[in-house]
Chains A and B, each alone.
Chain A
């Protein structure tokens, strides 16, 4: 594109130069001819050869006429020289402008070509340079890149989560079908034999399997959220009451948000349980208060409202999570606890999204972890 602009520009400049030379030469020539016709020739005719002064005048006129062609060329050259200087300055400015515009555009187009759907976007943002219009375009491109990255994560996670849901549904159904007859016959044999300890063991294990299946069922059959305006502080207090050593802080106890009471409590329950497990505490009942208490709490629930955004953060001072694993903890099946299926946080995230909220996590090994649920900001 740049070469095309430059070629067109050079051709245009040459045409302008050629036409300027021709017009100027013809104009000067015409002027000379007019002077000859209107002044010189009538003057010549009036001059009398017998007079010495007239003879000298005739000689001077002859010299003038002889050199008129040369003078025409000389005047044209001087005029064109000035014009050429202006033309060169204009050309320099234009070429500068072309490079200013095309250089960032070329960078932009190279980066756009690198975007490959289906592959991870590896491009970094482009430096904003060039004219205002080009900067606006680059800003839009950088913003698009950011959003594409976010959508890529979202779609990727959504696709993985849907995959898990489907598999869970199938597994739950099939395994249920398999264990049902086993349970039925085991219960029958329980009454038939004297030493039923082993049958009791079988039945207990079957119950455990059913418990695991229930968790999978929860993930694959999450209920639709029915959002109603609820007092956030009251709901949080209800959940905190179920646990020990959990502190609440709230800057506004009257915050009302559209929430599904049951699902919202489930989110909090999961996160608080995780926090308590990270700090080595088991969950138990505790009275919640809205002011700083004298208990040394290791898990804290904080409710903050800034502008239109309400953030509920659940933090603990447990062992923390490595930074490299933070982006995996919401993935179904991920767990750092032996014997755990690893779908709790995945369910928490789905339920958060059902509330039109976002959840994020920050952690430092040895210092603790904080989960933040933000209401009022959405990815569209």
Chain B
């Protein structure tokens, strides 16, 4: 390993210990947007690195990982809509499966590929016209016996949207 690499690694270690960095990779959230239909508001966004190497070893051991998108929509602190969209990632024969979908993924596809998501964040939109609305989408991870595995991510992925109808 070159001296430059050593210095780089040492720098990362120092930043990690000081809390300025994480030993685990971050979950990336990109291309966040919303669109409205006559009755609902939908948020679309893309995520990457939901499943990293450390989470992979947990799934491979036979534990199913639950990924939950927790939605909370408020207007002036009054809750208008909440929902939790759950997907389960499991492993069979070294292939990874998302919820009950038949398609299996390799780990490299699962972690490197960008996953597009569309989530309803508000219903009954006519009732909320002229309101200034705020939606928070939190992505949570857990498994059987461990209610919170978010320490295995480098960040706490969260989307905050502010919009008016």
Which positions in A face B, CB cutoff 8 Å? 18, 21-22, 25-26, 55, 58-59, 61-63, 65-67, 69-70, 72-73, 76-77, 80
Contacts and interface: CB of A to CB of B under 8 A. Distances in A.
A25 B57 contact: no
Contacts of B57: 62, 65-66
Which 6 A-B residue pairings sit nearest by Cβ, starting from the closest? A62-B61, A69-B23, A66-B54, A59-B61, A62-B58, A58-B61
Interface of A is mostly: helix
Interface string B20-31: 000110000000
Nearest to A76: B17
Interface residues of B, number: 23
Contacts of A80: 17
Interface string B44-87: 00000000001101101111000000000000000000000000
A91 B14 CA distance: 21
B16 interface: yes
5 contacts: A21-B14, A22-B14, A62-B58, A66-B58, A77-B17
B55 A73 contact: no
Nearest to B15: A21
Contacts of A22: 10, 13-14
A66 B55 contact: yes
Contact of A58 (B10, B62, B149, B152): B62
A72 to B, nearest CB: 7
B17 A63 contact: no
Interface in B102-132: none
Nearest to A55: B62
Nearest to A24: B17
A333 B62 CA distance: 116
Contact of B145 (A59, A65, A72, A76): A59
Given A21-B17, A66-B152, A67-B152, A72 B23 contact: yes
A67 B52 CA distance: 12
Contacts of B60: 62
B20 to A, nearest CB: 12
Nearest to B144: A59
Contacts of B18: 21
Contacts of B62: 55, 58-59
Given A58-B62, A77-B19, A80-B17, 7 more contacts: A21-B13, A25-B17, A66-B58, A72-B23, A73-B16, A73-B17, A77-B17
Contacts of B17: 21, 25, 73, 76-77, 80
A143 B129 CA distance: 91
A26 B13 CA distance: 9
Interface in B133-151: 144-146, 149, 151
Nearest to A18: B14
A277 to B, nearest CB: 90
Contacts of B19: 77
A196 B145 CA distance: 146
Nearest to B59: A62
Nearest to A62: B61
A25 B55 CA distance: 22
A225 to B, nearest CB: 82
Contacts of A55: 62
A77 B16 CA distance: 9
Contact of A70 (B14, B24, B55, B58): B24
A235 to B, nearest CB: 89
B6 to A, nearest CB: 10
Contacts of B144: 59
Contacts of A69: 23-24, 54
A26 B9 CA distance: 11
B155 to A, nearest CB: 14
B78 to A, nearest CB: 38
Nearest to B149: A66
A25 B10 CA distance: 10
B110 to A, nearest CB: 16
A288 B9 CA distance: 103
A18 to B, nearest CB: 6
A76 to B, nearest CB: 5
Nearest to A58: B61
A62 B24 contact: no
A301 to B, nearest CB: 87
A37 to B, nearest CB: 16
A329 B107 CA distance: 108
A225 B17 CA distance: 86
Contacts of A70: 23-24, 151-152
Contacts of A18: 10, 14
Nearest to B18: A21
